[in-house]
Amino acid sequence: MPELPEAETIVRGLRPAVIGQRIRRVEVLHEDVLREPKAAFARKLHDALVVAVGRRAKNVLLRLEDRRVLAVNLGMTGRLLPFSGAPDGAARPGHPAVRFRFESGGVLIFDDTRRFGTVECLTDAEWRERSERMGPEPLARSYTASRLHADLARSRAPVRSWLLDQRRIAGIGNIYANEALYLAGVHPRRPARSVTADEAARLHRSIRRVLRGAIRAGGTTIRDYRTAEGGVGEYVRRLLVYGRDAEPCARCGDLVRRLVFGNRSAFYCPTCQPYGARSPRPADGRSTSERAASGPSAGAKGAMRGRGGRA
């Protein structure tokens, strides 16, 4: 999906288009992105005024009157596309799921090819309960390296799986987890609690650096993600390991490898991210799930189709 930087980019682009707009009508074209019957959902939103737009983790939040929240989780392929009136040719909705029609004549479309995304209208209390179940925001001032280290110490999960767990840290997905681990020199399969204080400090820095850099670049477009203005995310050109199976590491020239665990691909450089000081990779990792460096995966190559060159 859209991870934290993509959600943040959408939020920034959406603000001028939707703040101050009053929803006149809601049209649900695919009910499976809702968590309640469409009639009830549409009734809640009738005549609601959008007062602010924000983000929590990977969720885009349209704040309404009465402290209610329209919470949008973009899933893998969700997009929020505002149109002021006449359709311009930027990013045409190919799979509209929900259309919000404003009093002004403008329209906001939640478009989602795979429909893994969700759109919910929550009360202040419902939203707060939801938010409390999510981990800390990695870009918050209060999120320190020592906090990260202390939290990592409580889990035996592989550190890449740990970073993807929204209850532990919010907003990180597979792309930025892999990039941050690469920059920190930490093998993705290392048990979270084996990460030392020094490594946690490096990881803390690299997480922030990657997320901030991606926000500045407008996110990462592999295929479906678009900014609210319909543009692509340029961070795709700065990716150092994600999707680069069998390509040379930018730092040492060794070949980037792909591992599969936790049902997701992990990309790493075996030289820059040794599993341990003594054994360069998990003792049993190679025979089970590690792919030969000479066999780039069809899926990873396919996912990276059409992107630009290395930065």
| Residues near DNA (CB under 7 A) | 1-3, 6, 32, 57-58, 73, 75-77, 94-95, 113-116, 155-158, 161, 164, 166, 173-175, 192, 219-225, 233, 261-265, 297-303, 305
In the complex, what is the shortest distance from the CB of residue 279 to DNA, in angstroms, rounded to a whole number?
A: 17
Euclidean distance between CA atoms 57 and 153, whole angstroms:
22
Phi-psi region of 198 (alpha: psi -120 to 50; beta: other; left: phi over 0): alpha
Catalytic residue at 3?
yes
Indicate the residue among 131 and 155 with the shorter CB distance to DNA.
155
Query: Is 154 a known active-site residue?
Result: no
**Residue 22 annotated among the catalytic residues of the structure:** no
DSSP state of 255: B
Query: Of 44, 55, 56, 58, which is the active-site residue?
Result: 58
Burial class (CB in 10 A: 0-12, 13-18, 19+), 298: exposed
Choose between 48 and 232: whose C-beta lies nearer to DNA. 232
Give the active site residue among 223, 264, 286, 307.
264
Round to whole Å and give the CA distance between 160 and 135. 15
**Nearest approach, Cβ of residue 236 and DNA (Å):** 8
Which residue, 209 or 223, has its beta carbon nearer to DNA?
Answer: 223
- Residue 300 CB, nearest approach to DNA (Å): 6
Among 3, 179, 199, 290, the one annotated catalytic? 3
Nearest CA to 172 among 126, 212, 132, 224? 212
Q: Is 44 an annotated catalytic residue? A: no
Distances (CA, A) of 245 to 11, 32, 174: 32, 35, 15
Q: Report, in Å, the least distance between residue 220 CB and DNA.
A: 5
73 versus 206: smaller Cβ distance to DNA: 73
How far is 205 from 200, CA to CA, in rounded Å?
Answer: 8
- Give dist(CA 52, CA 15) in Å, integer: 7
Task: Centre a 10 Å sphere on the Cβ of residue 147 and count the other Cβ atoms it contains.
Answer: 15
Residues catalogued as catalytic = 2-3, 58, 264
